[in-house]
Chain A
Amino acid sequence: MQELINRAKELLENGTVARVLGWKAGDLPYNPEPAYFESAESLKDFVYNGFCGANLSKYMIEASKLEGKTLVCLKPCDTYSFNQLIKEHRVDREKAYIIGVGCKGKLDIEKIRNQGVKGIESIQGAEITDAADELKIQTIYGEKTVAYADAMLERCHVCKGKEHKIFDEEIGESKETKDGERFDEVSRIEKMSPAEKFAFFQKELSKCIRCNACRNVCPACSCRKCVFDSNKFDSSQKANVDSFEEKMFHIIRAFHVAGRCTDCGECSRVCPQGIPLHLFNRKFIKDIDELYGEYQAGDDTDSKAPLTNYTFEDAEPSIVGKRG
């Protein structure tokens, strides 16, 4: 982390960048927040550890409008989102100085809590430089140990890889965290009967409180004004009506980001009700892979996307009927 801070200071001081977009230490061991740093002095609060899960790519939409370059710290998976935003002309590459930061898997405080950890005072092992495979957590109720892998976000278990897809320079090592297959859960659900599928998603989506965190954090949801924010629309953004959340909102959103979603996993990370929203997106990604050939959104900035491109080999609409 010190190397990162030193480099950020240097780039701020020599005028290459006007600000640094990173994470600021929180007031609990697990709650750093995305933050801008405009002076070398302010970087004393900079942190980069296991709890810096937030994908800063989306903040670059606004940062692209600011005067001067913004140094942005992107983890390997975040770079896919940044590339996709370039492709959609939502960020300005020239306004970004990208430091690809190493990643050894990001932590999910909910997963830690679910293992019976409460009253957290300090957490050891979450620093990027820590080599340990476990977290030592000091709590008011005694010391607990949690395996790092058991505290990781779902997305890290199916990590897309250690490679930064776009960067100006890289700092820090990344670690292999993948221990599962990305489409396994989707395949499991595909095997369910329609009634079972419906019951599964109804149970999950009935928890939705329409806070819109999934939409607002999503780098693919970059519309200036969302259709659900229109006050001319009956089922607008905030009314929590079970049938709508269960049947419509999340599915419409998944359709809208289909072919553009990089599977960054932010939707599931931020959901206060722990709804596995990424499953919808992954189902679309899996279908696109099968119907149009393998495609990873955000892999590059200039290839043609399957859903906005036409080839003679494209699946016919009748495929829907055939697949059931």
Chain B
Amino acid sequence: MYKIAKENLSALFRLIAESSELYLPVKTAGQVNFAAWSEEAEVALDILKSVKSPKDAFFPQSEGLYTVKREGKKMKVEPEELKNKDFVVFGMKACDVKGLEVLDNVFLADPIDTFYAARREHGTVVALACHEPEESCFCKVFGVDAANPAADVAAWMIGEDLYWNALTEKGEALTEKVKALLTDADETAVEAEKEAIHNIVEKLPYMNLSLEGWNGDALSEKFDDKLWEELYKPCLACGTCTFVCPTCQCYDIKDYDTGNSVSRYRCWDSCMYSDFTMMAHGNNRTSQMQRFRQRFMHKLVYYPANNDGMYSCVGCGRCVEKCPASLNIVKVIKAFQKQGGEK
């Protein structure tokens, strides 16, 4: 266990940035999102949740795949380079780290998504424990420990110091690089902080949410339930929940005509959108009820069915905070629970 005084964090960031790209929470025009570090960046480590999750660092909202150019009578295909430089993501939270595990199960399974795999290989995650979890958090429900982020380096902001504990080889390697700025520390303060976090977590309103009945085998029972017809109604069909989510992984592939070439890119898609999974024959989900249902069925039924029971929600609560119609996964789970109770 090491520590570094808060006032020396700028020096730490500068040192990391000398050899790697560095992404961390940065405040721009009043909002905090993960962005590249620079001397001018307004680093905001004291916020709990960035608006967007940090999944962009591994799975960007838009990325080029390849470009096709015309050369005389021939076509030349230029694939986009895979990530080949090391980078560090600093300040992810335990839920966001768990989100990467969800993405890994999708993108690193056969056939491997090479763009994602290259970023995972070159990325090192330094995660911060949640000093003051909030009412919209429910990570514990999905087995996440807000006090112990399972990243390459786990860190705790306590008083005027940041405590630093490498958990993986990548974490050890990063620690070696920045060792000059770190001093040895004992675990007493961190143990007290963990206990304090656990005590707060117990008080949060959503922490005892029950997932009973939600599993990979619940397909027909949940899919056919009449409740969806009621639940989706306030939904505006925007993509906020899917775009702030650390686990939503759907993307679309599109071509952009630049005038003298065609760039093929992919961009996040949202199951809330009318052209989601549009195919030659048309669309297999023609109503907003069906689109709305898809999101929750995917997180709580389909994904567990394909991943040994693991849910693809990590309880970060961003949808709880950001949905313009105040809908969210917690309300969906509770509505089914309530219905079950009344039967």
Contact = CB atoms under 8 A, between A and B. Distances in A.
A297 interface: no
Contacts of A234: 254-257
Interface string A184-210: 000000000000000000011011011
Counting contact residues on chain B (CB < 8 A from A), the size range is 35 or more
B143 interface: no
B224 to A, nearest CB: 21
Interface stretch (B94-102, B210-218, B234-242): B234-242
Contacts of A34: 233-234, 325
B327 A207 contact: no
B278 A231 contact: yes
Contacts of A27: 205, 330-331, 334
B interface SS class: loop
Given A36-B233, A210-B239, A211-B239, A273 B51 contact: yes
Contacts of B61: 209-210, 240
A272 B273 contact: no
Contacts of A107: none
Given A54-B325, A273-B51, A120 B243 contact: no
A54 B326 CA distance: 10
Contact of B31 (A33, A238, A241, A274): A274
A142 to B, nearest CB: 11
Contacts of A273: 31, 33, 51
B327 A119 contact: no
A28 interface: yes
Contact of B268 (A28, A141, A240, A241): A240
A207 B238 contact: no
B30 A274 contact: yes
B169 interface: no
Interface stretch (A5-13, A212-220, A286-294): A212-220
A54 B324 CA distance: 8
Nearest to A200: B29
A207 B33 contact: yes
B199 to A, nearest CB: 10
Interface in B184-207: 200, 203-205
Given A36-B233, A118-B132, A238-B270, A207 B31 contact: yes
B315 interface: no
A246 B205 CA distance: 39
B62 interface: yes
Contacts of A141: 132
Given A119-B133, A209-B61, A236-B254, A26 B240 contact: no
Interface of B: 28-31, 33, 48, 51-52, 61-62, 132-136, 200, 203-205, 233-234, 236-240, 242-244, 252, 254-257, 265, 267-270, 273-275, 278, 320-322, 324-327, 330-331, 334
